[in-house]
Amino acid sequence: MSPDDPMLPVAYRVEKVSKETRDTFTLVTRRVDRAPRHAFEPGQFSMLYVCAVGELPISISGDTADKQNLTYTVRSVGQVTNQLVSLGVGDTLGVRGPFGAPWPVEEARGKDLVIVAGGIGLAPLRPVLYHVLRRREEYGRLVLLYGARSPQDQLYRKELTHWSQAPETRVLTTVDYGGVNWHGHVGVVTTMFRYVRLRPERTMAMVCGPEIMMRFVARELETRGVERSQIRVSMERNMKCGCGFCGHCQYGPDFICKDGPVFPYDRIQSRLEAYEI
Amino acid sequence: MESLERIIAEQPFVEGLESYYLQLLVGCAKNVVFEAGHTVFREGEEAHEFYLLRHGKVAIEIHAPQRPPIVVETLADGDVLGWSWLIPPHHWRFTARAVTQVRAIALDGKCLRTKCEANHDLGYELLKRFADIMSRRVDAARYQVIDVYGTGVKK
């Protein structure tokens, strides 16, 4: 992962594999050459290359404080991700990056932080949670609203419980479909806002999930008085180069890989509502 | 009764409601407690009341033969449970079951309907509040059926 050649993958070895859900796995990887891993900021992604199969952008879901490993949470939805989740300890993969604009954790310092995640969208936000919880006194109230399809589809279940015990922190989870034995909330993630009292004038929101979900969440935040400029969303498009050369991820005047994936909502709000972008 | 008024006044549903209207509501209200597992109301039954949930969780369910009930939504502290009392033929469309112990204020629908007919300002005020709740729940239901977290991949 030479900074001089962002197109050249570096070999990483899988050190650990954790099954999160029936189709989602977390891979902890380390450089094969034992050199220090490359620095990343919360919200950035890598291009992961499976030899002879293909390459995909995957957000880094690990802790920036872990100086040895790069961690990725991958949901199996296609050819490359199927191969990625099939990797075992000792297998190698190619890593390029990290790329992209991160979550503004420094700008959020001193503010209340509302993190809204849907499905696999919790993965790119997990580094933010690690960052904030390690510096808890430097931030205001922390609220995590997490929606998943079903109880079995929730990521990082043990960590969700752990995070909810942090001071001045609320973690509310909900599922779209809950069985009769599920005693948690049922309903889309936007419905969780009615259980939290925001201080909109001092709130920054970070939102990641399916695009439709982010649109609804951003509107809900606006309804509750949070300024558009204080809402960040993480976008996703097909990517090839990861560094703004190829144009595959063009999104209006921006490239998701280079100018995003994290965008201020006020910059892309009109595009989020457009039909053909 | 003063205590009940204070409790009702703390509910988000009545936020900003004039004291005179609040008094009218209090006249139709009582405290109720449901234990976990208790059926608060059942689909098809006459809808006599609605509830302001003070504490606890309620599941809104649809029952179908030969399969477990489907929970379509849960409601909790500060939420309003039930609007069928307001809309003819005043029968519950879903079943509500207490997931945990629930403490709530029950408001007598017949009593309130009579007061709303006699005082249209009260009726309009309540209708606006219920319309807001209904609109939000319809939005949420539409969003829920999209299945946004699905992969779109046929397996």
Q: B126-142, pLDDT tens digit by residue?
A: 999 999 999 999 999 99
Nearest to A115 by CA among A214, A256, A26: A214
Chain B: residue nearest A75 by CA?
Answer: B151
In this structure, what are the phi and psi dihedrals at residue B139, rounded to the nearest 5 degrees?
Answer: -55, -50
The predicted structure's pLDDT at residue B154: 44
Task: Tell me if the domain spanning A112-234 has CATH number 3.40.50.80.
Answer: yes
Q: Which of A153, A179, A183 sits opposite B99 (nearest CB)?
A: A183
Nearest to A184 by CA among A153, A220, A225, A228: A153
ipTM exceeds 0.90:
no
Compute the count of residue pairs across chains A and B with CB atoms less than 8 Å apart. 73
Interface of A with B (CB under 8 A): 23, 75, 77-78, 118-119, 147-149, 153, 174, 176-180, 182-188, 190-191, 194-195, 209-210, 212-213, 216
Domains, chain B = 2-146 (2.60.120.10)
For the cut 50, the answer to whether the pLDDT of residue A255 exceeds it is: yes
- pLDDT tens, position by position, A207-252: 999 999 999 999 999 999 999 999 999 998 888 888 888 888 899 8
Interface test with A, best of B39, B148, B153 (most A CBs within 10 A): B148
The predicted structure's pLDDT at residue A3: 53
Q: Per-residue confidence at A274, pLDDT binned at 50, 70, 90?
A: confident
Q: Can you say whether residue A188 is alpha, beta or left, with left for phi > 0 and alpha for psi between -120 and 50 degrees?
A: beta
The predicted structure's pLDDT at residue B152: 53
| CA distance linking residue A170 with residue A163, whole number of Å | 8
| CA distance linking residue B116 with residue B104, whole number of Å | 22
For the cut 50, the answer to whether the pLDDT of residue A1 exceeds it is: no
Nearest to A19 by CA among A192, A154, A199, A198: A154
CB contact under 8 A, A119 and B149: yes
B59 SS3 class: strand
- pLDDT tens, position by position, A108-162: 999 999 999 999 999 999 999 999 999 999 999 999 999 999 999 999 999 999 9
Interface test with A, best of B129, B143, B153 (most A CBs within 10 A): B143
Chain B closest-CA separation from residue A260 CA (Å): 22
Q: Per-residue confidence at A13, pLDDT binned at 50, 70, 90?
A: very high
Average pLDDT over all residues of chain A: 93
Domain boundary assignment for chain A: 10-99, 112-234
Question: Which regions in chain B score pLDDT beneath 70?
Answer: 1-2, 151-155
| B residues 18..57 contacting A (CB < 8 A) | 57
Q: Which fold has domain A10-99?
A: Elongation Factor Tu (Ef-tu); domain 3 (2.40.30)
